[in-house]
Structure 1
Amino acid sequence: MNRTSRVDTPIFPRAARSAALSWHDGLWLAVIVAIGINLRPLLTSVSPLLATIRAATDLSFSGASLLTSLPVVAMGFGALGAGLLTRVVGEARGVALGLLAIAAACAARFAASSGAALLMTALLAGIGVAVIQALLPGVMKQRFHSRVPLAMGLFSASIMGGGGLGASVSPCVAKAFDSWRAGLAIWAIPAMLAGVCWLVLQRSMLADQRVASPAAAHARHTSHVAMWRKRRAWTLGLYFGLVNGGYTTLVAWLPAYYQQRGASVAHSGSLLAAMTVFQAASAMLLPLAAALFRDRRPWLVAGLSAQLTGVVGLLAWPDAAPLAWVAITGAGLGGTFSLTLVTSLDHADDHRVAGRLVAFVQGVGFIVAAISPIVAGRLRDLTGSFTAAWTMLAVCIAAMIALTFAFSPRSYARWLGAR
């Protein structure tokens, strides 16, 4: 890495880098983690209880799969509408409404008695997650302007850690209360607690807002630019979608892949759990490693290369070291997820513009991610194995490595004026 790639530009001033985090910053980061933990249990809590849920609601396999895919689709379309919500109620209230939607959806599952009711809760919770994921990065850009990688790394790690908690805690709660509904509804409690903490901290946010400058006034004007007209916004959206497409595909089919090779349900599930652990760790560590460098491309390539290595290992030597392959893949997925969002935030110095870009990127990205496991499953049906699915992932990752080189820091200031 050459000396010119070091961060010493006005976007990341030297004084801000050397300043230590205050206790108030620590409280904000703690609340961000509390919010992130609530964004995946609505997906992962369903999987271990799926057989019981199907027996109780008469959902078909196709219908049951919607409990996972429907929230992901809602995340995409909900993120695309987050800009309107920001203009109507603001970022802070929008995040609070998102948490309220998650809490309400999870609580409603305690009384759900039909598959249709569960699907409605999945849709509502997915919209709540979409709003939070679209709006909170803009808030973090404003609050932690010089420490975006730290804030985003913690947020991403908490999202993935929450996914692991959903898969492990819900079965225990369901067993303790002898009710699968309790196992799903328990997640209303942390969502409500996170919402209360979030609202309490908003008073301090108002006090910390800076006086608007001419540059900020210009940013307010440009924040209304139609993102769908910007080639860079679409490129980042596709990039983010393919990252998450790898995640959704592996979550959907990794256990089935190893069960087809003779592994037990418990062993195949433990491999998925291990992938989640390495995801969470890398989502925190890779952005921190890249924090001192304005050019994120080498670190994105490192994360993608780890993904490619793991997928090729699953494809070529699946039984040689399965834990190693899922660990490497998970590390690549987690690090690239969070660093892609950091790179998107880097494209605009003002948090309003950056927030709108990240919302668009996630909107496009989650729609792409929802399609990926469906394509992989179809390939499995057509070929009788997962070889074609893993090959598809490997090809996509290789294409993403090539695309990464387009994200030069010099292009950050030009994308708003380009078509």
Structure 2
Amino acid sequence: MRNAKNPWLMTALIISGIGISYIYQMAPSPLLGILRAEFGIQSDALLNLSVSIIFPLMIAASIGGGYIEQKIGNRNLYILTLFFLGAGILMNYISQSYTVFLASRAVFGIGFGLGIPFIGAAIMNWYTPAQQEKMNTINGLFPFAGTMISFGLLVPLYKIFGDSWRSALGIWGLGIILIAVVWITFVRPEDRFTGGSGDVQGEKGLYRNLWKRRSIKLLCLIFICDITCFSYLSTILPTFMKLIGNLTEQTAGLISAFAFPGVGVVGAFLGGALMSMIGKRKPPMAYGQLLKFLGLVLVVFGANISLPLVVVGLACYGLGDGLWMPAVYMLGMELDDMNPTRVGAAFALFISCGYAAGFISPVLGGWLTDFLAPLSGAPNASLGHVFGLKWSLFIFAFANLISFVSVLLLDETGPGKLLKQGVEEPVKA
């Protein structure tokens, strides 16, 4: 980051703000049983909506954020992001009905969506090429670190605050307010932090031109498949672990946190190191899709044998899901004729497509669970519920094979593809 008065402070504010958004993204998951009892919810599909309700407005905000960034710049886009994140999270304190709670999640979704084009444009515009690989590795870590913290801390926080889920969720909004105050105070409007291609003026037909690219369509499909699984698994995992292992909510949350997103953090570090070492983006992406599929298959069939096998399957899935993330963000930046605005818009486009599926998958998965449970012939409702969760997850696992084929169809963009041709300088594909 060049010409910035406080580059380390800026980076810390970006990482902490976006990080909190990912912590809160899946925040209801460890508390679904508590929310079910509080609001008297019977349907799994309606209960899972508390997680996926963020996605419609998030999609609209992320697409619109590409245009907003052209008008107000990245600094102010981050202020807008923090405003909606903070407002949505703090609304937990006044959520006396399930409707108000869903509304708070929707407001948060606007902030989450605005953060997507922000982080894409910020990494390309404010950081040097060498720094971009590191920042994209961190960007790939966000979903896993956020989900791990969410699964691991929310139930203990619920207990600390006297069995108050509103405080356990709302407390994160105070952190967002602090970040916003420091950002507005210390990041100057006139600063230009050009480490990449620099700021770009408004561009007509931005999304239309991006959508014409075959690579963008494939990336959209890959994110659809990935977030379909990620969203559903993250929604049901603490409940699933509690039921199959006869665990407390806190123990189920902790095991879920370390078996899936915790290993995902390791996978993202390995994926970033692997793509830097070999200079290619497709191998870690492809290996990741296969590991995810194999991991979910082991989860489903391991549930009939032992809890440790399920944990191993979750770890395989987490490793695969982390492995591909840093590479896909670098690949998006290395496509032909990209600049910060196009990168931010491209991130918004394929991540929004993914989260559209992420909105549907928990609701669809809940419906599948309700449909499959009576088919189990189980002697009690709890075993029937496990049967429904398990086989609905098995169906979702096949999305990873579609994403594997899509990765194979992408063109390699990394500098490693040029080594056999004797080209020493990396050239963007």
Q: Pick from 85, 88, 92: which aligns with 2:75?
A: 92
**Do the aligned residues in 2 keep the contact of 1:54 with 1:64 (CA within 8 Å)?**
yes
Distance between the aligned counterparts of 1:315 and 1:56, measured in 2?
A: 30
1:345 partner amino acid: M
Distance between the aligned counterparts of 1:228 and 1:278, measured in 2?
A: 34
Q: What per-residue deviation string (whole Å, max 9, x for no partner) do you get for residues 350-377 of structure 1?
A: 2111111111111111101222333333
Give identity over the alignment, percent: 17
1:120 corresponding residue in structure 2: 103
Q: Pick from 325, 329, 336: which aligns with 1:337?
A: 325
Distance between the aligned counterparts of 1:411 and 1:155, measured in 2?
A: 18
1:40 corresponding residue in structure 2: 22
Distance between the aligned counterparts of 1:362 and 1:47, measured in 2?
A: 21
> Are residues 1:395 and 2:398 paired?
yes
Distance between the aligned counterparts of 1:283 and 1:212, measured in 2?
A: 26
1:417 corresponding residue in structure 2: none
- CA 1:23 to 1:243, structure 2 compared with 1: closer, same or farther past 3 Å? farther
- Runs (5+) with no aligned partner, structure 1: 1-15, 413-419
2:356 corresponding residue in structure 1: 367
Alignment of 1:54-133 (within 5 A): 54-58=36-40, 61=43, 62-133=45-116
Alignment of 1:322-361 (within 5 A): 322-347=310-335, 348-361=337-350
Q: What per-residue deviation string (whole Å, max 9, x for no partner) do you get for residues 191-227 of structure 1?
A: 12222343355339824337989xx879957856543
**Do the aligned residues in 1 keep the contact of 2:157 with 2:168 (CA within 8 Å)?**
yes
Distance between the aligned counterparts of 1:210 and 1:249, measured in 2?
A: 38
Q: Pick from 406, 410, 417: which aligns with 1:407?
A: 410
2:367 corresponding residue in structure 1: 378
Secondary structure of 1:113 counterpart? coil
Alignment of 1:84-233 (within 5 A): 84-146=67-129, 147-178=131-162, 179-200=164-185, 202-203=187-188, 206-209=191-194, 223=206, 225-233=208-216
1:316 corresponding residue in structure 2: 301
Q: What per-residue deviation string (whole Å, max 9, x for no partner) do you get for residues 114-173 of structure 1?
A: 222111110000110111022211111112241322102213324432333333433334
Of 269-278 and 41-50, more deviation after overlay is shown by: 41-50
- Runs (5+) with no aligned partner, structure 2: 374-386, 416-429
Distance between the aligned counterparts of 2:268 and 2:312, measured in 1?
A: 18
Please identify runs of 4+ aligned residues in structure 1 that moved more than 6 A: 210-213, 216-219
**Do the aligned residues in 1 keep the contact of 2:127 with 2:195 (CA within 8 Å)?**
no
2:425 corresponding residue in structure 1: none
CA RMSD across the alignment: 3.3
2:399 partner amino acid: C
1:31 partner amino acid: L
TM-score when normalising by structure 1: 0.81
- CA 1:221 to 1:77, structure 2 compared with 1: closer, same or farther past 3 Å? closer
CA drift at 1:103: 0.9
Secondary structure of 2:188 counterpart? helix
1:278 partner amino acid: V
**Do the aligned residues in 2 keep the contact of 1:160 with 1:280 (CA within 8 Å)?**
yes
